[in-house]
């Protein structure tokens, strides 16, 4: 039986490891942390929106993952809940972007509705008229929310139940391919495996360097979320209990939603380049973001806020200028023998993980199990794959 070491127990690594043991292989999942579930996401929920993902294959992975999570395997508790996303045009130029989103919806058969300006303001009176000129809405079923810890816990149970082994607080320091197998130096001693899977997230490039693998031109960016409280709302009877996720369609600065008890979550639409450790959002950026929320809505926000930041990583070489538009790397390494990559999901690693892991397992074990994935969702393994060296 082939034995794999999967480095990185984020959602990507855990899902691949669970897939490998479910397919009859043996796997050890190694992470240098104590494994707080779903730590990479910094959030208990994330929204699935296949229409605005950066590339066709990422869209396909998200759409396929959504279907997989609708009927998860045994051991999973609830993993989806009602969501919905509203894309709003802030300027006449943004209408083209709304048109693109709508066309993608038709192409991928994702249910959505165009909203004219009057309709938009009737349904969302909290939006400021000058910067909400029209919208496209994906209903809850088309863009549900993922309960990230539900997915993480389910995958972990599946992995353990099928005989997988987890090594926490174990960092991979270096690895060499010698005499037909990997010798992996870790902080807990030497491990051996037939093949290595690099699911090290923002540190995937560092791990590759330690193992003599090729750089995939992955760049790390900071992604941050700010939470504030509604203090009042000019001209509104009451703020809504819970809004869909609202994205200004030109992606000029803002993604937000309101929660029960008047909490507002806001996130800058652009992610600056960042080092892999200790990303932080500066007070001046927080102030600017909250000011933007106040310009785009009728809300007045309290100054007291909490904010957090993490890192995302995406391939830059084949990508458009933002650097966040690359395809993920789901492939054998071109140089290092039996070294497999699953990394580079940018802002979409949670939404894409189930289908991405299924593709990875098929490529690693050289089989094609997930017919619906490839035929119904047009996921193309060849879009990612390089042959095993
Ligand atoms: C604020 C924020 C909001 C986000 N929102 C969304 C969203 O709405 N939707 C969405 O889909 N995605 C979102 N993302 C992105 C998503 O979190 C990532 O794409 C996803 O978590 C990546 O998963 P991963 O498994 O590839 O990497 P990670 O979760 O980062 O896991 C990598 C693991 O590898 C371990 N590791 C690294 N090097 C080593 C080593 N040498 N030895 C041992 N272990 C090692 C690390 O400890 C880590 O646990 C968001 C990210 C942030 C920061």
Lowest mean pLDDT among 31-45, 200-214, 306-320: 31-45
For the chain, the domains span 3-66+147-217+318-384, 85-139+221-312
Atom 37 of ligand 1, residue of closest alpha carbon: 200
CA dist 172 and 67 (Å) reads: 34
pLDDT of 38 over the 50 cut = no
Q: How much is the pLDDT for 36?
A: 62
Q: How much is the pLDDT for 47?
A: 84
Q: How far is the CA of 278 from the centre of ligand 1 (A)?
A: 14
CA dist 111 and 93 (Å) reads: 24
- Which is the CATH superfamily of the domain at 85-139+221-312? D-Amino Acid Oxidase, subunit A, domain 2 (3.30.9.10)
Atom of ligand 1 nearest to the CA of 313: 19
Classify the C-alpha dihedral 345-46-320-267 as positive or negative. Answer: negative
pLDDT of 57 over the 80 cut = yes
Q: How much is the pLDDT for 43?
A: 62
What is the DSSP pairing of strand 255-259 with strand 263-267? antiparallel
Mean pLDDT of the chain: 89
pLDDT, tens only, 118-128: 999 999 999 99
pLDDT, tens only, 86-117: 999 998 888 888 999 999 899 888 899 999 99
As assigned by CATH, the class of the 3-66+147-217+318-384 domain is alpha beta
pLDDT of 37 over the 70 cut = no
Q: How far is the CA of 75 from the centre of ligand 1 (A)?
A: 23
3-state secondary structure of 310: strand
pLDDT, tens only, 272-312: 888 877 788 999 999 999 999 999 999 999 988 899 888 89
Q: How far is the CA of 201 from the centre of ligand 1 (A)?
A: 5
CA dist 186 and 247 (Å) reads: 43
Atom 14 of ligand 1, residue of closest alpha carbon: 347
CB 356, CB 30: distance < 8 Å: no
Lowest mean pLDDT among 142-151, 271-280, 344-353: 271-280
- Reduced to 3 DSSP states, what percent helix, strand and coil does the chain have, rounded to the nearest 5? 35, 30, 40
pLDDT of 324 over the 80 cut = no
Q: How far is the CA of 203 from the centre of ligand 1 (A)?
A: 9
pLDDT, tens only, 208-246: 999 999 998 899 999 999 999 999 888 787 777 788 899
221 CB within 6 A, ligand 1: no
Mean pLDDT of 140-153: 91
CB-CB neighbours of 179 under 10 Å: 6
Residue whose CB lies within 8 A of the most ligand 1 atoms, among 50, 143, 200, for a mutation test:
200
Atom of ligand 1 nearest to the CA of 39: 29
pLDDT of 365 over the 80 cut = yes
Q: Place 325 in a pLDDT band, splitting at 50, 70 and 90.
A: low
Give the list of residues 6+ apart from residue 163 with CB closer than 8 angstroms, or none: 21, 26
State the residue for tokens 């590759």: 208
68: DSSP letter: H
Q: Place 252 in a pLDDT band, splitting at 50, 70 and 90.
A: low
């Amino acid at each position: 039986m082939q034995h794999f070491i999967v480095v990185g127990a984020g959602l990507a690594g855990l899902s691949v490891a669970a897939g490998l043991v479910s397919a009859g292989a043996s796997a050890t999942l190694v992470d240098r942390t104590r494994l707080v579930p779903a730590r990479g996401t910094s959030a208990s929920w994330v929204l699935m929106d296949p229409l605005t993902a950066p590339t066709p294959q990422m869209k396909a992975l998200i759409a396929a993952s959504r279907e997989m999570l609708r009927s998860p395997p045994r051991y999973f508790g609830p993993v989806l809940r009602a969501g919905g996303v509203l894309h709003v045009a802030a300027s006449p130029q943004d209408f083209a972007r709304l048109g693109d989103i709508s066309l993608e919806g038709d192409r991928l058969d994702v249910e959505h509705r165009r909203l004219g300006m009057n309709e938009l303001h009737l349904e969302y009176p909290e939006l400021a008229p000058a910067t909400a000129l029209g919208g496209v809405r994906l209903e809850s079923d088309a863009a549900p929310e993922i309960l990230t810890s539900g997915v993480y816990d389910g995958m972990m149970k599946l992995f353990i139940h099928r005989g997988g082994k987890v090594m926490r607080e174990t960092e991979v320091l270096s690895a060499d391919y010698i005499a037909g197998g990997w010798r992996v130096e870790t902080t807990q001693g030497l491990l051996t495996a037939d093949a290595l899977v690099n699911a090290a997230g923002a540190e995937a490039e560092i791990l590759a360097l330690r193992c003599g693998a090729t750089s995939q031109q992955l760049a790390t960016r900071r992604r941050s979320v700010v939470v504030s409280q509604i203090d009042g709302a000019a001209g509104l009877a009451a703020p809504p209990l819970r809004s869909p996720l609202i994205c200004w369609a030109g992606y000029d600065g803002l993604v937000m939603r309101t929660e029960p008890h008047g909490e507002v979550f806001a996130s800058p639409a652009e992610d600056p380049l960042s080092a892999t450790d200790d990303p932080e959002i500066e007070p001046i950026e927080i102030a600017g973001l909250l000011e933007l929320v106040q310009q785009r809505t009728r809300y007045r926000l309290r100054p007291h806020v909490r904010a957090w930041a993490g890192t995302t990583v995406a391939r830059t070489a084949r990508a458009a200028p933002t650097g966040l538009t690359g395809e993920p790397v789901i492939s054998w390494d071109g140089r290092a023998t039996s070294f497999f990559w699953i990394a580079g999901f940018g802002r979409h690693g949670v939404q894409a993980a189930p289908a991405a892991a299924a593709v990875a397992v098929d490529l690693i074990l050289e089989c094609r199990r997930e017919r619906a994935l490839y035929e119904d969702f047009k996921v193309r393994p060849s879009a990612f794959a390089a042959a095993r060296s």
